[in-house]
Amino acid sequence: MPGMRTLLLVLLIAVAPLLGPASVAQPGDLQPGQATVRLRGGRDMVVHIYKPEGRGPFPTVIYLHGRALNRSLRDNLESAVPPGHAQWWLRQGVAVIAPVRPGYGATGGPDVEDTGARWAEGECVGEPDFLRVAQAAREPALAAYEWAQWQPWVQRDRMLVEGHSLGGLAAVAVAAANPVGVRGIVNFSGGTAGNPVASPGQSCRPDLMAAAYATLGRSTRVPSVWIYAADDRYWGREAPRSWHAAFRQGGSDSELVVTADAGGDGHQLLVNGGALWQEPLASFARKVGFLAR
């Protein structure tokens, strides 16, 4: 099966030692520390790090960023995790590792997360391959996970993987690999191939996205929570419900949370809607034993 072959290749990723000592962001510091992880094929991936004060080990989040529509924004990505979100985790005593995936920011390289979807006069054309993109984004995420397992300040059996937009889809793909020590998955506004300008509230081929999520759900055993805003301009109100229903057919413990409107741009819920996502996130983190009750 193609998915199994991809997973086997992921498990062969060589994780490089740090190229020089890692710098680490402390509470109150909005600039992340950095380390470098060697990916299969020899590319070095930049990883942003936020760590609470002390030696740890700390419960640790791996955060997966989204994908901007504009190529220039992807090339110039600076913050691999919203600083306010990282600070929220730091206040809980949690470290955050945020890889800058290939094709973005300081890591650079070819764009391997292009679905092939194109828009013409408000209509989506092409045949997007969402499962391939999810698996491509999963590889560097699992490389960051493997790297984290060697860090003395990481509590290896208390990890959480979360992501936003395409990063949310990637987080669900990580769940399908069932990595040891990962207590749960958080999918913020997950998906790809939406266009709020050309087609507000209606993504490209949501049926194919549902099929991709269904495939990932069949091998997932890690609990997850999916958090979307009702006014998400990329996906609309109904598509996330159908995607989650397709995923849940696989039988894993998964909850869908649809928040109230988040100010007209619900896709930016994680940045603008702290009052809406903090409680469901904290509740899930306690439920899976990532945060103390």
Domain holding 75, by residue range, is 2-113+126-287
| CA distances (Å), origin 176, targets 157, 217, 253 | 18, 7, 13
pLDDT for 263: 83
**Does position 14 have pLDDT exceeding 50, yes or no?**
no
* Residues 2-18, mean pLDDT to the nearest whole number: 35
Is 121 inside any structural domain? no
Total domains, the chain = 1
- Per residue in 163-204, pLDDT (tens digit) is 999 999 999 999 999 999 999 999 999 999 999 988 899 899
Is 18 inside any structural domain? yes
Q: Which helix (H) or strand (E) holds 22?
A: none
What percent of the chain is modeled with pLDDT above 70? 90
* Residues 24-48, mean pLDDT to the nearest whole number: 80
Is 268 inside any structural domain? yes
* Residues 230-244, mean pLDDT to the nearest whole number: 95
**Does position 84 have pLDDT exceeding 50, yes or no?**
yes
We report the CATH number of the domain holding residue 142 as 3.40.50.1820
pLDDT for 30: 55
Nearest to 62 by CA among 29, 107, 101: 101
**Does position 241 have pLDDT exceeding 50, yes or no?**
yes
Interacting residues of 159 by C-beta distance below 8 A, sequence separation 6+: 59, 60, 61, 62, 145, 148, 179, 181, 182, 183, 290
* Residues 258-287, mean pLDDT to the nearest whole number: 93
Ramachandran region, residue 60 (left: φ > 0; alpha: ψ -120 to 50; beta: rest):
beta
Is 240 inside any structural domain? yes
Confidence of residue 19 (pLDDT cuts 50, 70, 90): very low
pLDDT for 194: 93
Is 293 inside any structural domain? no
pLDDT for 170: 98
**Does position 27 have pLDDT exceeding 50, yes or no?**
no
Confidence of residue 123 (pLDDT cuts 50, 70, 90): confident
* Residues 273-289, mean pLDDT to the nearest whole number: 96
> How much is the mean pLDDT over the chain?
89
**Does position 126 have pLDDT exceeding 70, yes or no?**
yes
* Residues 71-82, mean pLDDT to the nearest whole number: 96
pLDDT for 120: 85
Is 77 inside any structural domain? yes
Is 292 inside any structural domain? no
**Does position 21 have pLDDT exceeding 70, yes or no?**
no
